[in-house]
Amino acid sequence: MTDTTWLHMFFGGLMALAILIYAILDGYDLGVGILMPRHDVQQRDQMIASIGPFWDANETWLVLAVGILLIAFPDAYNLVLKELYLPATILLIGLIMRGVAFDFRAKVSLDNKNMWDNIFKAGSLVSSLAQGYMLGQYVVGFDSSGASQGFSILSAICVAAAYSYIGATWLVMKTEGDLQKQAASWARRCGWVTFLGVVSVCIVNPIINPSVFEKWFNFPTALLLFHIPLISLALFITNDQILKRIPLEKDFGCWIPFLGVVGIFFICFQGLAYSFYPYVVPGKLTMMEAASATESLEFIFIGTVIVVPIILCYTALSYRVFWGKATELKYY
Amino acid sequence: MIDTLMLSRIQFAANISFHILFPMITIAMCWFLVYFKIRLHTSGDPVWMRAYRFWVKVFALTFAIGVVSGITMSFQFGTNWPGYMETVGNIAGPLLGYEVLTAFFLEATFLGIMLFGMDRLSPRLHTFSTVIVALGTTTSAFWILALNSWMQTPTGFEMRDGVAFPVDWMEIIFNPSLPYRLAHTLIASGLTASFLICGLSAYRILKGDNKRAPKLTLKTAICVAAILTPLQVFVGDLHGLNTLKHQPQKIAAMEGVWETQKGAPLLLFALPDEETRSNHFEIPVPKLASLILTHDSEGEIKGLNEFKNEHPPVAPLFFGFRIMVGIGMLMLLLAWVGVWQLIRHKTVNTLTLRAFLVMTFSGWIATLAGWYVTEIGRQPYLVSGILRTSDAVTTVPASNVGLSLTLYLLVYVGLLIAYLHTLFLMARRAVEIEEISPQEQNDLTPTFPLHSSPMHRSPLLVKEPTS
């Protein structure tokens, strides 16, 4: 343990935090995009209104996560993006299309609005699938065998379902009336798909990664991890029970399912991070091996310590400003 | 034979060229929006609100395309240029990191508040959000230009085992070409936004829009353009002198000077030929290049032959530079004609309006031409003197790069068409909207007096306030 290890740990932790926040925040707005109904313009408008003020900042967390990978672990950054060249391209094109569709839809004629809404939906879906596929490939160490491809496709579906799940619960929190009821039923369905996805990833991951198997089934440390499956199961079930009863009396507690999914994301992410620590690329590069020069890390460390809390403060401020049910999106 | 290197270069050029179009507008346009809001506060005249509301929509659309096309850039270094991060990652990383931390989050978060929070905030807080977004976009320009300038004129580092390590961050950030490049680019953004505002406002007026808002925005933007164009000529000259000092081979290519010479002529036109290392069809103005670059008619300009195999391709620089300067001259001319007419007649005539319409996107062309000059001018290096472009490229197969490039190009062409179409659609729609909707009338009457002259008011508004 050298004196710079803490720096690597700090940036490893910060990157994990950025990825988690990204998955939660952009997760719900990608999910809302995936769920857009084809035949109801009014519902689409309401759904878009609920994510309008946030999507841009949400996406910035992806830039930060990639940015930290680039700054702190340049070798890992090069390796990951080289291996994931085509999925990354597809992800980026998906993000481009949905981002611009969001703005174009508000400014064009009705026919074209339908077109841009379809692009928004497709872009959201493609981006989510691409992210899930990239995650799967990352977990299997960029293996291209049939089994690994199958696992990556499973992971793609799982991530898309999880994003839809958090998106639907976001809508339960931010909307009222028919749309809220509709969202609750979406959320229940996506919840169960997500649950199945998480369970299958949990089964497959230790089988194909011996080191992961050792970590999870090596007593007594495994006992300390017992809370992970237990809490997530509890959260899935509680959420389903609440969603069944939407709309609740006086809308009391409409935010609980969303918070529940945040909890699930947090727990699953914790499990994933535990599986691979201290590797930044599973089985290939540890955080120490991939780290950049100490001088550089120290320089950006100072800025991070000052700026990240400020970012969190004004992010909170923005959620405070748009607190409560989403209102009609007036473009000024 | 097109290999991974060439395809990656084309892809990077396509991505950055498409991306830069949008920040070039938004960086300066946000300050225009701040100005409209401040005028609204100080004058209370709702026409400024109308101006703000039209242009904030253009801003939002432009900004969105800028953001999403920019995300691509943060992946590009890894997907296509791994040698870049390997060699100078210790320096490029933190600079990019500071851009994300101090600018991207700031502008993205407050943009949401600015676009959708008008009903939820006090007017002053809303204007404050607009100022924050403007500061964010400008800060972002600062960091990315710091990195770009460092790649042109690297200082404050040392090489150990072929890898650059930072020695002095102040020297890295404030490297010799940063002040000139930053000023030149920010003014270019001001001009790009001004001519866009002039062009679309002129379009509305030509389409029969008789309201005050497009006239006011036209007037504002003409005045800004008239001030910025001569300033840009001055700053551009300083930037050129700075380049002559640090990257003489770039200047030699821009001027088409092969042999070192005293009293070099300025070539209005020529066809540079790298095979014979000479120019065809020269139209020279004697001694002018030396006079401009060294401020001495007998000054010496180093020729390209002093930098054999170390100088950039000549033709793109030679022509890119002439396109940029040519458009700059047209901008200067038109802006001053506009101001002159405004002073003489309080209005600009139809011919001038048409000229502004033609020049709507002139800022884009000048910007791209200028960027090609400076970026191709850095070749064959990716980072001057440290890293050759050909040593930084990925080992990803050419077919994959070809596929991604094709996808990007399709998306970009589609988006560019949609963007231009939508801008003019929004302008045509604005022609039909009332000067001030009854809703706003109710919102504004209690607090703001109306200054609009009766002939411009719509019938709905002629009624006297009831209070």
Q: For residue A2, is pLDDT > 60?
A: no
Q: For residue A251, is pLDDT > 80?
A: no
ipTM: 0.85
Tokens 């002559």 belong to which residue? B244
Interatomic CA distance for residues B414 and B81, integer angstroms:
26
Residues 6+ apart with CB under 8 A from B345: none
Closest chain A C-alpha to B17 CA, distance in angstroms: 15
Q: What is the pLDDT of residue A180?
A: 87
Range A240-251 average pLDDT: 81
Q: What is the pLDDT of residue A122?
A: 94
More confident residue, B415 or B286: B415
Tokens 């994990």 belong to which residue? A16
Range A279-304 average pLDDT: 83
Q: What is the pLDDT of residue B339?
A: 93
Instruction: Categorize the per-residue pLDDT at A178 as very low, low, confident or very high, splitting at 50, 70 and 90.
Output: confident
Q: What is the pLDDT of residue B228?
A: 95
Q: What is the pLDDT of residue B324?
A: 94
Q: Pick the closest to residue B426 from B221, B266, B201, B143 (CA basis).
A: B201
Q: What is the pLDDT of residues B331-374, one digit of tens each?
A: 999 999 999 999 998 888 999 999 999 999 999 999 999 999 99
Which residues in chain B have their CB less than 8 angstroms from residue A75's CB? 86
What mean pLDDT value characterizes chain A? 86
Percentage of chain B surpassing pLDDT 90?
48
Q: For residue B453, is pLDDT > 50?
A: no
Percentage of chain B surpassing pLDDT 70?
93
Structure tokens at A321: 């400003």
Q: Does A42 touch chain B (CB under 8 A)?
A: no
Give chain A's length: 332
Instruction: Tell me whether residues A71 and B91 touch, CB distance under 8 A.
Output: no
In this structure, the number of other CB atoms found within 10 A of the CB of residue B19 comes to 20
Q: Does A86 touch chain B (CB under 8 A)?
A: yes
More confident residue, B214 or B463: B214
Residues 6+ apart with CB under 8 A from B87: B162, B163, B164, B383, B386, B387, B392
Instruction: Categorize the per-residue pLDDT at A129 as very low, low, confident or very high, splitting at 50, 70 and 90.
Output: very high
Instruction: Categorize the per-residue pLDDT at B407 as very low, low, confident or very high, splitting at 50, 70 and 90.
Output: very high
Q: For residue B138, is pLDDT > 90?
A: yes
In this structure, the number of other CB atoms found within 10 A of the CB of residue B417 comes to 10
Instruction: Tell me whether residues B105 and A104 touch, CB distance under 8 A.
Output: no
Structure tokens at A62: 């992806």
Instruction: Tell me whether residues B121 and A54 touch, CB distance under 8 A.
Output: no
Q: For residue A190, is pLDDT > 50?
A: yes
Instruction: Tell me whether residues A85 and B425 touch, CB distance under 8 A.
Output: no
Distances (CA, A) of A288 to A21, A294, B32: 24, 11, 47
Q: Percentage helix, strand, coil, to 5, in chain B?
A: 70, 5, 20
Which residues in chain B have their CB less than 8 angstroms from residue A303's CB? 94, 97-98, 101-102
Lowest mean pLDDT among A302-306, B105-109, B261-265, B456-460: B456-460
Interatomic CA distance for residues B419 and B409, integer angstroms:
15
Q: Are B323 and B227 in contact (CB under 8 A)?
A: no
Structure tokens at A295: 């001088």
Q: What is the pLDDT of residue A329?
A: 62
Q: What is the pLDDT of residue B196?
A: 96
Instruction: Tell me whether residues A85 and B408 touch, CB distance under 8 A.
Output: no
Q: What is the pLDDT of residues A56-88, one digit of tens each?
A: 889 889 888 888 888 888 888 888 888 888 899
Q: For residue B195, is pLDDT > 80?
A: yes
Interatomic CA distance for residues B63 and B50, integer angstroms:
20
More confident residue, A270 or A29: A29
Range A269-281 average pLDDT: 82
Q: What is the pLDDT of residues B13-50, one digit of tens each?
A: 999 999 999 999 999 999 999 999 999 999 988 889 98
Q: What is the pLDDT of residue A59?
A: 87
Q: Which of B52, B74, B166 sits opposite A67 (nearest CB)?
A: B74
Q: What is the pLDDT of residue B452?
A: 39
Q: For residue B441, is pLDDT > 60?
A: no
More confident residue, A202 or B190: B190
Q: What is the pLDDT of residue A331?
A: 52
Q: Does B414 touch chain A (CB under 8 A)?
A: no
What phi and psi, each to the nearest 5 degrees, are found at residue B111? -60, -45
Residues 6+ apart with CB under 8 A from B48: B36, B37, B39, B40, B216
More confident residue, A209 or B143: B143
Q: What is the pLDDT of residue B465?
A: 35
Fold of A7-321: Formate dehydrogenase/DMSO reductase fold (1.20.1630)
Q: What is the pLDDT of residue B434?
A: 64
Q: Does B437 touch chain A (CB under 8 A)?
A: no
Q: What is the pLDDT of residue B462?
A: 33
Interatomic CA distance for residues A210 and A188, integer angstroms:
34
Closest chain B C-alpha to A11 CA, distance in angstroms: 12
Q: Does A331 touch chain B (CB under 8 A)?
A: yes
The conformation of residue A204, written as its DSSP 8-state character, comes to H
- Per-domain residue ranges of chain A: 7-321
Q: Are B264 and B289 in contact (CB under 8 A)?
A: yes
Q: What is the pLDDT of residue B369?
A: 95
Q: What is the pLDDT of residues B284-325, one digit of tens each?
A: 888 888 888 888 888 888 888 888 888 888 889 999 999 999
Best mean pLDDT range from A210-214, A246-250, B1-5, B58-62:
B58-62
